Structure 1
Amino acid sequence: MTMITQQTWPVPRQRDAGPVVRLDGVSKAFGEVTALAEFDLEVHAGEFVCLIGASGCGKSTLLNLLAGLESLTEGRITRATSQPAVMFQDPALMPWLTAARNVELALQLAGVGRADRKTRTNEFLELVRLGGLGDKRPHELSGGMRQRVALARALASASIGAENDGPCLLLMDEPFAALDAITRDVLQQELLRIWRATSPAVLFVTHDVREAVRLGQRVVLLSSRPGRVVQQWSADGVPESALVGQINARLREVIGCHGNGSG
């Protein structure tokens, strides 16, 4: 197993050290459309939280607010870290750069010295099991490999946030949705391995209830638009099939209420 050095991940990683992010009464409107309303949520240090809900319920909008890509309409967002790292469904790699340079760029923009960032880049590529492939360009890699590069880049960015602020937050917007089932299953297990090694707080958006239960310590269901927290489940110690059934049943209720005009 790849070791994470103090240089690569520079602060002690402690779970349950308090909220990394807290949302109080957050609302977001786009003109006449209200995407989120009176949204309350906390994510604690080292916690893995999955957000699920019907299409258009505001999950991606929520991540954009947390990443600073959108401004909220009402409410308050409190973060214990200045800048979360973000990973999207599209790996968004620069095609003219090698895998290593795509990862290294996050460190370079943060002012990390050349020798130091090359060492860290190699360690992050090893962590996502791409050691020896740093000289490949995105078109030479499979879809799953490109997402591994994107994950390494997000972790590199998160390591800088951890170095500057303490706890770190990784925002993931359906990062495996475009992959085939086998690759998606492999990367889910890889993400859990990496999370256990580095312990960032993770807020993971997905439409797949089974994926949410498999990955998350906590699963949060959002209502149909405008998005609010409807119910939360702890995944610890609960059989996967039973929890998937419970959440799917509640999700159908939420969608049905919305379709009947009562939600």
Structure 2
Amino acid sequence: MTATIEQTPRPRSAASAVRLHGVGKIFGTGAAAVTALHEIDLDVRPGEFVCLLGASGCGKSTLLNLIAGLDEPTTGSVTRTAARPSFMFQEAALLPWLTAARNVELPLRLGGLSRAARHRRAGELLELVRLGGMHARRPHELSGGMRQRVSLARALAATGTGPDGPGLLLMDEPFAALDAITRDVLQAELLRIQAATGITIVFVTHDVREAVRLADRVVLLSSRPGTVVREWAVDDDRERLHGEITARLRQVITSHAA
């Protein structure tokens, strides 16, 4: 099953939503130190969908944490001009005692919005992710795909997307635990939602086909220490691009194993 969506190209500013210059990250000290990232240079434009691709352990998740401001780089600088970022993970991580609507309202409540404003915005976001009739359901009453939709709505609420302008969404393999059909549908839904909101997305994956389907640009990281090996702008010839990126990824993995 393949869900399709028409997208209207959006003009993008030349300014960066996120800029990383010479970023390195070392964990530990002395002989026990581990260099996770080395000399990362990356610009993400407002409204752009960038996929970070690489083998397990190459530092993709560490890079997301640096972009989010959850950790500081050891070297280099991270500059973020987009609205506040939010995360979406492989697990939905919903609060089981709250309804879908209340889970979406949580970051709005922490942000100081009134009850009426929270209720209205949560309703809008649940409609956006096609769960308008599920606002009173608790997580155990929802399928895995539905829980991820609620998680996406909550992440969008946390970014400030809406009257304050598009935000920054950081996604760490959010569909990896889903079955193939649900993953396919949610990938198409994510494209629809990005087209509707103009949000900037940085998306971590190890799946080349997923990266080529979703991204405006694919960034390949080397094995540890992670650094940018190459970038590709995604064009209409996705099958050719899939083959090219897969071959380059295999080279990266093989050279590391050697």
Matches within 5 A, 1:215-230: 215-230=214-229
What amino acid maps onto 1:120 in structure 2?
A: R
The equivalent residue for 1:71 is 72
Q: Deviations along 1:181-227, whole A, 9 cap, x unmatched?
A: 00000000000000000011100000100000000010000000000
The equivalent residue for 2:104 is 103
Asked if the contact 2:68/2:86 (under 8 Å) is kept, the reply is yes
The equivalent residue for 2:240 is 242
Which stretch shows the higher mean deviation, 130-139 or 80-89? Answer: 80-89
What is the TM-score normalised by the length of structure 2?
0.92
Give the C-alpha shift of residue 29 in structure 1: 1.0
Any unmatched runs of 5+ in structure 1?
1-12
Give the C-alpha shift of residue 119 in structure 1: 0.7
Q: SS of the counterpart of 1:89?
A: coil
How many residue pairs match? The answer is: 245
Task: Tell me the C-alpha RMSD between the 2 structures.
Answer: 1.4
Give the C-alpha shift of residue 16 in structure 1: 2.7
The equivalent residue for 1:203 is 202
The equivalent residue for 1:45 is 46
Relative to structure 1, the CA distance from residue 133 to residue 190 in structure 2 (aligned partners, 3 Å threshold; closer, same or farther) is: same
Give the C-alpha shift of residue 14 in structure 1: 5.9
| Inter-partner Cα distance in structure 2 for 1:224 and 1:27 | 14
Q: SS of the counterpart of 2:158?
A: helix
The equivalent residue for 2:27 is 30
The equivalent residue for 1:83 is 84
The sequence identity of aligned pairs, in percent, is 67
| Inter-partner Cα distance in structure 2 for 1:190 and 1:227 | 30
Asked if the contact 2:101/2:135 (under 8 Å) is kept, the reply is yes
Asked if the contact 1:217/1:235 (under 8 Å) is kept, the reply is yes
What is the TM-score normalised by the length of structure 1?
0.90
Give the C-alpha shift of residue 113 in structure 1: 1.0
Asked if the contact 2:87/2:171 (under 8 Å) is kept, the reply is yes
The equivalent residue for 1:259 is 257
Asked if the contact 1:162/1:168 (under 8 Å) is kept, the reply is no
What amino acid maps onto 1:202 in structure 2?
A: I
What amino acid maps onto 2:257 in structure 1?
A: G
Any unmatched runs of 5+ in structure 2?
1-9
Give the C-alpha shift of residue 161 in structure 1: 8.8
Asked if the contact 2:84/2:160 (under 8 Å) is kept, the reply is no
Structure 1 stretches of 4+ moved >3 Å: none
The equivalent residue for 2:123 is 122
The equivalent residue for 1:231 is 230
